[in-house]
């Protein structure tokens, strides 16, 4: 069964006993709200009491924006559902409540965060709330610590590995973050004028060696449950509270990837606000707070091992942040923060500075010791 606006009313009637939000005879209003590339997201509300609503996320068996000629396993939603389960258990309240998961049709029914805003939109508007960065730092730290290989017996680790063996999605990330942007690839694009910078990057052997090393870590390190797509579009914000969504890339991997993606999107915002010093300064504080909270909440009983683990996570995070920044500038998927700059010379200035900074993060990720050292380069 493929879900669309025409088939949804029937689906909801058939499934009402599992979803348990509406009665079978409730008159429903359905609208498509998603803006994503892979899936379809709907809001379903009670026509008479619109405050009673839910969100349905549906994964068609292909990449939504490309169509049926581009098949993609619907299992991605199984991983998202499992991640929601783990997050709800370990860090309750940091994700939408999950009402129902239907693996066959590939649908998650979840709490509707109706009045929340996408964090990226707040950052674009120059609204930087350091409480959000702290919450995301805490969320990552709690989940990463509790599912960390150093904190589990081998049977439990095996179980997490099996539950989060999300190879299809991991290999998409490997291509689009670590490989395609730095090769000749049809999906790459950049602002005309950035060409010399891109050519220099692609010829920089020191950079390419470090990028390859980071790709190896991404593909092989099995550390803890990693969200896998934790950028500022995967955080919804309301009343100084953050909720994490879109965990279809969740895998058992190197946790520095989550911190790196999150930071990279703050850094991209930083470069997009090039002349607004107070916004830039708040973004720097948010980046510091993310790490400080992460490190303070991180749990491994042995102090020496904990320090060593945190130091390695930090180095990985810095490298991953650099690669995420670069692929958002020259790869297939750019960010609104920068694409929205209409004045081209201004956009180019932001992109050049961000590209330079991202490159340095990758090349120096093993020697940069702390957040202060990173911020000193801005
Ligand atoms: N639980 C929710 N409550 C409110 N809006 C949501 C919820 N989940 C998703 N959305 C909206 O749908 C958009 C796409 O959701 P997302 O999970 O990122 O889908 P995709 O994986 O296709 O990108 C989000 O940016 C957000 O605007
Ligand atoms: Mg997604």
User: For each successive 10 residues of the chain (378 residues), what is the average pLDDT?
Assistant: 89 93 92 91 96 96 92 98 98 97 97 98 98 98 98 98 98 98 97 97 98 98 98 98 98 98 98 97 98 98 98 98 98 97 98 98 98 98
The domain 8-111 is placed in CATH, from the list 3.40.30.10, 3.30.200.20, 3.30.470.10, 3.40.50.1010, at: 3.30.200.20
Distance 61 CA to ligand 2 centre (A): 14
- Whether the domain at 8-111 and the domain at 117-375 fall into the same CATH topology: no
How distant is the alpha carbon of residue 241 from its chain centre?
A: 17
Give dist(CA 232, CA 123) in Å, integer.
9
Pocket test for ligand 1, best of 31, 57, 122 (most atoms within 8 A of CB): 57
Which atom, in ligand 1's list, is nearest to the CA of 110? 1
Give dist(CA 241, CA 121) in Å, integer.
15
Q: How many CB atoms within 10 Å of residue 96? A: 22
**Which ligand neighbours the alpha carbon of 232 most closely?**
1
Sign of CA dihedral 99, 227, 70, 40: positive
Distance 117 CA to ligand 1 centre (A): 10
Whole-Å CA distances, 98 to 81, 237, 238: 8, 18, 19
Tell me the pLDDT tens digit for each residue of 27-63: 999 999 987 889 999 999 999 999 999 999 999 999 9
> Integer distance in angstroms from the first to the last C-alpha of the chain?
51
Whole-Å CA distances, 295 to 138, 292, 318, 368: 9, 5, 15, 16
**Which ligand neighbours the alpha carbon of 172 most closely?**
2
Q: What is the pLDDT of residue 37?
A: 87
Pocket test for ligand 1, best of 33, 42, 53, 231 (most atoms within 8 A of CB): 33
Q: What is the pLDDT of residue 104?
A: 96
Task: Please list the residues that pair with 30 across neighbouring strands.
Answer: 44
**Which ligand neighbours the alpha carbon of 40 most closely?**
1
Distance 232 CA to ligand 1 centre (A): 12
Distance 116 CA to ligand 1 centre (A): 11
Cα angle value 169/158/92 (rounded, 5°): 70
Tell me the pLDDT tens digit for each residue of 279-301: 999 999 999 999 999 999 999 99
Q: Residues 233, 119: contact at Cβ < 8 Å?
A: yes
Distance 341 CA to ligand 1 centre (A): 24
Q: Residues 252, 86: contact at Cβ < 8 Å?
A: no
Q: Does domain 117-375 have CATH number 3.90.1200.10?
A: yes
Q: What is the pLDDT of residue 182?
A: 98
Q: What is the pLDDT of residue 36?
A: 80
Q: What is the pLDDT of residue 34?
A: 85
Q: What tokens were used for 86?
A: 């783990």
Cα angle value 48/52/57 (rounded, 5°): 120
Which atom, in ligand 1's list, is nearest to the CA of 64? 22
3-state SS of the chain: helix, strand, coil percent to 5?
Answer: 55, 10, 35
Pocket test for ligand 1, best of 72, 75, 173, 245 (most atoms within 8 A of CB): 245
User: Which residues have C-beta within 8 Å of that of residue 300, sequence separation ≥ 6?
Assistant: 145, 148, 150, 151, 306, 309
Q: Residues 112, 245: contact at Cβ < 8 Å?
A: no
Give dist(CA 138, CA 297) in Å, integer.
6
Give dist(CA 290, CA 100) in Å, integer.
32
Which residues does ligand 1 sit against, CB inside 6 Å?
Answer: 33-36, 38-39, 41, 55, 57, 96, 110-113, 118, 233, 245-246, 248
**Which ligand neighbours the alpha carbon of 246 most closely?**
1
Instruction: Identify the burial level of 322 via C-beta atoms within 10 angstroms of its C-beta, where 0-12 means exposed, 13-18 middle and 19 or more buried.
Output: buried
Q: What is the pLDDT of residue 35?
A: 79
Distance 33 CA to ligand 1 centre (A): 8
Give dist(CA 227, CA 251) in Å, integer.
7
Give the residue extent of every domain in the chain: 8-111, 117-375
């Amino acid at each position: 069964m493929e879900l669309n606006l025409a088939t949804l009313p029937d689906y909801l009637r058939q499934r009402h006993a599992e979803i348990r939000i509406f009665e079978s005879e409730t008159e429903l209003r359905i609208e498509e709200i998603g803006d994503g590339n892979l899936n379809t997201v709907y809001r379903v509300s009670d026509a008479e009491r619109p405050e009673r609503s839910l969100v349905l996320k549906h994964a068609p068996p292909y990449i939504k924006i490309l169509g049926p000629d581009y098949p993609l396993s619907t299992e991605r939603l199984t991983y998202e559902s499992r991640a929601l389960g783990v997050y709800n258990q370990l860090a309750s309240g940091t994700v939408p409540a999950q009402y129902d998961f239907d693996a066959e049709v590939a649908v998650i029914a979840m709490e509707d965060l109706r009045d929340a805003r996408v964090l990226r939109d707040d950052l674009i508007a120059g609204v930087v709330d350091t409480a959000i960065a702290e919450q995301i730092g805490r969320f990552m730290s709690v989940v990463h610590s509790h599912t960390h290989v150093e904190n589990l017996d081998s049977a439990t680790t095996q179980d997490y590995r099996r539950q989060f063996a999300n190879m299809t999605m991991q290999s998409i990330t490997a291509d689009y973050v670590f490989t395609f942007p730095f090769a000749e690839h049809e999906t790459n694009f950049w602002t005309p004028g950035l060409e010399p910078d891109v050519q220099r990057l692609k010829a920089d052997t020191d950079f390419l060696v470090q990028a390859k090393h980071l790709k190896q870590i991404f593909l092989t390190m099995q550390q803890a449950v990693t969200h896998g797509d934790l950028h500022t579009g995967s955080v919804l914000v309301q009343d100084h509270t953050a909720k994490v969504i879109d965990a279809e890339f969740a895998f058992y991997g190197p946790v520095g990837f989550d911190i790196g993606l999150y930071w990279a999107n703050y850094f991209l915002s930083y470069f997009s606000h090039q002349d607004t010093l107070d916004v830039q300064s708040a973004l720097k504080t948010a980046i510091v707070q993310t790490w400080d909270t992460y490190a303070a909440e991180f749990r491994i009983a042995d102090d020496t091992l904990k320090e060593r683990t945190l130091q390695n996570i930090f180095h990985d995070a810095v490298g991953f942040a650099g690669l995420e920044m670069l692929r958002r500038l020259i790869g297939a998927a750019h960010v609104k923060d920068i694409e929205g700059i209409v004045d081209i010379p201004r956009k180019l200035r932001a992109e050049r500075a961000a590209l330079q900074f991202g490159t340095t993060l990758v090349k120096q990720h093993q020697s940069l010791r702390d957040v202060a050292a990173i911020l000193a380069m801005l």
